[in-house]
A and B are shown apart, each in its own frame.
Chain A
Amino acid sequence: MKNELEKLDVYLKELGEIHPDAVGKVGQEVDDAVWVVGRDRVLDVLIWLKDKGFDLLLDIAGVDGLHLGRMERFEVVYILYSIKENIRLRVKVFLPESDLKLPTATDLWQSANWAEREVFDMFGVTFEGHPNLKRILCHHEFEGHALRKDYPMMGGQWCSSTRDLREDLDE
């Protein structure tokens, strides 16, 4: 674990030479490194990390920090893993409620395709350039975003029609 953090420090220095000030804040939560990156720099950082060997995008998690009182309301967390170096890293982006947009990472990792669709479905974050940004877990007639904190816990909706998947074929 200590070894991992040391390696990440080296990476951070290397990244700082190419993209200075890209990583705003470096945190450490229960032994795991967290890099907080600005929204306009996130794609640069992700491309750099992909080249550096982070070949497995484990997950993209959305967070609605309505009651957390952090910098901005929404957070998108990329959980990356390097199989070769055995390092896990979280890259976090804060997004204001008024402008929920991020560049897509589908060109870097294919797993970003469904992961981004899920974040869009649950929180309404738009990923620009995504090949097929549609709801994935909720029904296509569903209104609102279920995992936002202001969505009611018992807010069920009646959705019945079947989606025509022909438009998804040529994704």
Chain B
Amino acid sequence: MNEREKQSSDSPFGVNPGRKEDIAEDFPREEGGFGVSFERLDEMLLEDLDTEPMYINIGPIHPATHGTYRIFCRLQGETVEKAAVEIGFLHRGFEKMVEIKPYGQVIPYTDRLNYCSALVNNVAFCKTVERMLDLTVPERTQYIRVIIMEIQRIMDHMICLGAALVDLGALTNYWYFFNAREKLNDVIEALTGARLTYSYVRIGGLAWDLPTGFESNVNASLKTVRKAIHDVTRLVKRNRIFLDRTIGVGATSGEEAVSFGFTGPCLRASGVPHDLRKARPYYHYDELDFDIPIGQNGDCYDRIFVRIEEMHQSLRIIEQALKKLPGGPINVDDKRVTLPPKGKVHGTMEGLINHFKLVIEGVQPPPCEIYDSLEAPNGELGFYIISNGSSTPYRIKVRPPCFYTMNGLKRLIEGGMVADIVAVLPGLNVIAGELDR
């Protein structure tokens, strides 16, 4: 018995794992190297180990999901072999609830769809009802709607990007974005009086006109926003960790993205230049000068940078719209939707009847069916409304952009690593309120 065997027999493990020569004899050395070959090491370990697939459950309450949904994966090592997505944890029955609400009272419910950009939902719903009534809102209202929608688009993208970068470990960007977002939030608060669920838009117009100093407030906050975007871009653009974790992760081709029903930034990241603001312009978007940023590979990197570029374009739109903002009334002069001025209510019989009819019965679109949509921050937000002529909608079907993005998530994460799920999810910007309705 030589010295080494003697020592080994003393050890309860048979070998002394701390001693270099013990490992060296079991595992092959690399030629000219000083360590062991890690590739062989993996194989050898897997042969010895009992390698049943492992199941892992992420959500419904998990810091990385940013909402309530559940992802269930079968893992092979650290690779996601198969995944299943379960949603519905935030299902409130929006579509059922609104069937007994007058049209005007549906607006606060739409706030709760995509609560990161509630004003866009307001506008989308009101625009659809206005089309049922064949109304054209005044010029001033159209421009105000453009301004508030673009402000909300920036705010929505800021939440999305802030959260996405936090999940990749870049916390600083979150503060940069949220400082600027706070400024925009102040502007919206001065306008609507609320900070999350605004309910500012009305059928046929707006709740009230812009407050004094709105334009200068917006211009001041846009400066902060521009600086924040600049700072964040500089922080992440050439950041090795960020690039490694996003480039090529969760990629889809344009064809696949269309098939999954992706719209908005997720579709444009895959290289399909489809934007409803250009394709089917509404509210003078065709007169405003802006570009549609598109990506090439449809991976996480493209989804994030398409959003960053969209924020630049939104800034351009806001500035142009502020310059073009005309004066005039904000509510359409139509007695079917707008309350008559108080003078008429107190002074004339028709005004009084009109007031009471509108308060008691609400807006009553003629019997028809309609699908109308606009470009929300996440994609095409559509409302399919059936009216039977009464003051409550017969059926409202929301087309939430997230629902279809989430449908594609399964394909995006299968075959990737577990850590990639965390990178892919926030880049899609799935909002549970809109997803589950």
| Most chain A C-beta atoms within 10 Å of own C-beta, residue among B380, B394, B411 | B394
Interface of B (DSSP majority class):
mixed
Contact B407 A114, beta carbon cutoff 8 Å: yes
Chain B residues lying within 8 Å of A86, measured Cβ to Cβ, are 279-280
Contact B259 A55, beta carbon cutoff 8 Å: yes
Assuming the contacts A68-B388, A111-B259, A146-B96, asked whether A58 and B399 have C-beta atoms less than 8 A apart, the reply is: yes
Chain A residues lying within 8 Å of B280, measured Cβ to Cβ, are 86
**A29 lies within 8 A of chain B by Cβ:** yes
Contact-residue bracket for chain A: 35 or more
Chain B residues lying within 8 Å of A79, measured Cβ to Cβ, are 371, 382, 384, 399
Contact string, A116-127, partner B, CB cutoff 8 A, digits 1/0?
Answer: 001000100000
Contact B96 A153, beta carbon cutoff 8 Å: yes
Chain A residues lying within 8 Å of B369, measured Cβ to Cβ, are 29-30, 34, 90
Distance of A30 Cα from B384 Cα, bound (Å): 12
Q: Which of A63, A83, A109, A110 sits near B395, CB closer than 8 Å?
A: A63
**B131 lies within 8 A of chain A by Cβ:** yes
Q: Which of A67, A77, A114, A165 sits near B384, CB closer than 8 Å?
A: A77
Contact B261 A58, beta carbon cutoff 8 Å: yes
**B54 lies within 8 A of chain A by Cβ:** no
* Of A5-13, A14-22, A93-101, A135-143, the one touching chain B: A135-143
- Least CB distance from A30 to B in Å reads 5
Chain A residues lying within 8 Å of B407, measured Cβ to Cβ, are 110-111, 113-114
Q: Tell me the chain A residues, 36-66 only, with Cβ under 8 Å from chain B.
A: 55-59, 61-64
**B242 lies within 8 A of chain A by Cβ:** no
- Least CB distance from B129 to A in Å reads 11
Distance of A118 Cα from B263 Cα, bound (Å): 19
B interface residues, tally (CB under 8 Å): 54
**B237 lies within 8 A of chain A by Cβ:** no
| Most chain B C-beta atoms within 10 Å of own C-beta, residue among A59, A139, A166 | A59
Chain A residues lying within 8 Å of B386, measured Cβ to Cβ, are 63, 68
Chain B residues lying within 8 Å of A114, measured Cβ to Cβ, are 403-404, 406-407
Q: Which of A34, A147, A166 sits near B95, CB closer than 8 Å?
A: A147
- Least CB distance from A120 to B in Å reads 13
Q: Which of B95, B96, B132, B380 sits near A58, CB closer than 8 Å?
A: B380
Contact string, B396-417, partner A, CB cutoff 8 A, digits 1/0?
Answer: 0101000110111011000000
- Name the residue on A nearest B371 (C-beta): A79
Distance of A168 Cα from B95 Cα, bound (Å): 26
User: Chain B residues in contact with chain A, CB under 8 A?
Assistant: 55, 57, 70, 72, 74, 82-84, 86-88, 91, 93, 95-97, 99-100, 131-132, 134, 256, 258-261, 263, 272, 274, 279-280, 368-371, 373, 380, 382, 384, 386, 388, 394-395, 397, 399, 403-404, 406-408, 410-411, 436-437
User: Chain A residues in contact with chain B, CB under 8 A?
Assistant: 29-30, 32, 34, 55-59, 61-64, 67-68, 77, 79, 83, 86, 88, 90, 109-111, 113-115, 118, 122, 135-139, 146-147, 151, 153, 163, 165-166, 168-171
Q: What are 8 sample pairs from A and B whose C-beta atoms fall under 8 A apart?
A: A86-B280, A90-B371, A110-B261, A115-B403, A137-B91, A138-B91, A165-B86, A166-B72
